[in-house]
């Protein structure tokens, strides 16, 4: 049975100017029925964009939505936020998240993903009295589990086997969160999600990058043979899952969140090309060097080091215990995503 619904009042969202964080804040204030305050703490690195929430700032700013430019590694700044807003809930998105960047420059991943999480945990431990109705929710990734073969799925009990500096840093932060729950009785929940897609994602990730390149007539680089498989989760489905966990999840538990949408990378890229062929044919694109289809731009390139072959999430636990289910299938989600980026990049 799910736990009794929590009353959330002052929610600190770390990394709320990023892709998933900004979608989550919008979901909380516009769709979830949440009536409290959200404090968005974001360092505004290259992947964070405060303008992602301009509409939210205009509608709720100063009353229910507050932004503070903050590095989560700064104990002084996090203490100030806790004191000023009497934080009772943390939703921890802030992280360096791009695998390729972690390979060429791992230090930022260690600092933000591990040290930053430690600072948040220590501050929560200092400010939250035992027995209070608080919650630290930690957002993680299916990449901590390593790579799957052709069959099988990641479960919440799957042993960790990270393969990149990024996934190793996220695995480390997961272990820290669980250690604070066990050692200090800090109320925590964790979620490990599959690949998110949707609006407001920085165009270094596969889907927005391919859309951007295609519209500019650039090559569409696909690693290896393109047969690496990922499960794709529409970002608003992820947001609704987090809301379910915040409201009903059991303290100390981990919940896998997936989209039930396994796809090969090459299938995703070809799907993007097909949608663009329909909404903006190459004949109308003055920047295109294609003759008939954007798929002519696809180029297979040398695979990246340690590229996991397949991720696939089993999310039966959150379905059965909390009643959550993904609502957006990949076909419709991809089309709406392509149309959103087409409008953004061409506008």
Tell me the pLDDT tens digit for each residue of 11-45.
999 999 999 999 999 999 999 999 999 999 999 99
Q: How many domains does the chain have?
A: 1
Give the per-residue pLDDT at 3.
46
* 282 lies in some domain: no
Interval 39-63 mean pLDDT: 96
* 291 lies in some domain: no
Q: Which residues are catalytic?
A: 142-143, 166
Query: What pTM does this model have?
Result: 0.95
* 150 lies in some domain: yes
Interval 153-177 mean pLDDT: 96
pLDDT averaged over every residue in the chain: 95
Band (pLDDT 50/70/90 cuts) for residue 4 is: low
Give the per-residue pLDDT at 269.
98
Least confident of 3-17, 180-194, 329-343: 3-17
Residue 195 scores a pLDDT above 70: yes
**HSE toward the beta carbon, residue 150, CA cutoff 13 A:** 0
Residue 1 scores a pLDDT above 70: no
Give the 3-state secondary structure of residue 50: helix
| Domain boundaries, position 49 | 10-194+235-258+312-327
Is the separation of the CB atoms in 123 and 83 below 8 Å?
A: no
CATH number, domain containing residue 108: 3.40.50.720
Instruction: Encode pLDDT of 229-278 as tens digits.
Output: 999 999 999 999 999 999 999 999 999 999 999 999 999 999 999 999 99
The residue among 76, 115, 81 whose CA lies nearest residue 96 is: 115
* 213 lies in some domain: no
Give the per-residue pLDDT at 6.
82
**What is the sign, positive or negative, of the torsion defined by CA atoms of 327, 330, 334, 336?**
negative
* 294 lies in some domain: no
The Cα–Cα gap between 106 and 97 comes to 11
* 115 lies in some domain: yes
Give the per-residue pLDDT at 2.
43
Give the per-residue pLDDT at 119.
98
Is the separation of the CB atoms in 269 and 222 below 8 Å?
A: yes
Give the per-residue pLDDT at 306.
81
Give the per-residue pLDDT at 153.
95
The Cα–Cα gap between 30 and 28 comes to 6
Interval 327-337 mean pLDDT: 97
* 290 lies in some domain: no
Residue 108 scores a pLDDT above 50: yes
* 28 lies in some domain: yes
Beta strands (DSSP E) in the chain are 10-14, 37-42, 65-69, 89-92, 135-141, 188-193, 195-197, 220-223, 229-234, 254-257, 262-264, 298-301
């Amino acid at each position: 049975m799910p736990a009794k619904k929590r009353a959330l009042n002052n929610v600190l969202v770390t990394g709320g100017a990023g892709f998933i964080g900004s979608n989550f804040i919008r979901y909380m204030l516009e769709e979830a029925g949440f009536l409290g305050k959200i404090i968005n703490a974001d360092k505004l690195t290259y992947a964070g964009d405060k303008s992602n929430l301009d509409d939210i700032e205009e509608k709720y700013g100063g009353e229910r939505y507050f932004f503070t430019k903050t590095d989560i590694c700064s104990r002084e700044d996090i203490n100030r936020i806790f004191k000023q807003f009497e934080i009772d809930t943390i939703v921890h998105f802030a992280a360096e998240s791009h695998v390729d960047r972690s390979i060429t420059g791992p230090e930022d991943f260690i600092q933000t993903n591990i040290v930053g999480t430690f600072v948040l945990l220590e501050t929560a431990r200092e400010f939250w009295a035992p027995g209070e109705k608080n919650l630290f929710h930690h957002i993680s990734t299916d990449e901590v589990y390593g790579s799957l073969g052709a069959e099988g799925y990641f479960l919440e009990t799957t042993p960790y086997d990270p393969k990149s500096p990024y996934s190793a840093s996220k695995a480390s932060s997961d272990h820290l969160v669980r250690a604070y729950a066990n050692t200090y009785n800090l109320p925590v929940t964790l979620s490990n999600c599959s690949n998110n897609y949707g609006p407001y994602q920085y165009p270094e990730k596969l889907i927005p990058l391919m859309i951007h390149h295609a519209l500019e007539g650039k090559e569409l680089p696909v690693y290896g043979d393109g047969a690496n498989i990922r499960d794709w989760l529409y970002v608003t489905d992820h947001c609704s899952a987090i809301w379910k966990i915040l409201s009903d999840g059991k303290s100390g538990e981990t919940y896998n969140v997936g989209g039930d949408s396994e796809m090969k990378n090459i299938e995703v890229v070809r799907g993007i090309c097909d949608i663009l062929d329909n909404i903006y044919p190459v004949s109308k694109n003055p920047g295109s060097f294609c003759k008939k289809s954007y798929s002519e731009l696809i180029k297979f390139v040398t695979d990246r080091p340690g590229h996991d072959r397949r991720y696939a999430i089993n999310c039966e636990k959150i379905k059965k215990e909390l009643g959550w289910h993904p609502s957006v299938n990949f076909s419709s989600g991809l089309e709406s995503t392509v149309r959103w980026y087409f409008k953004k990049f061409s506008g």
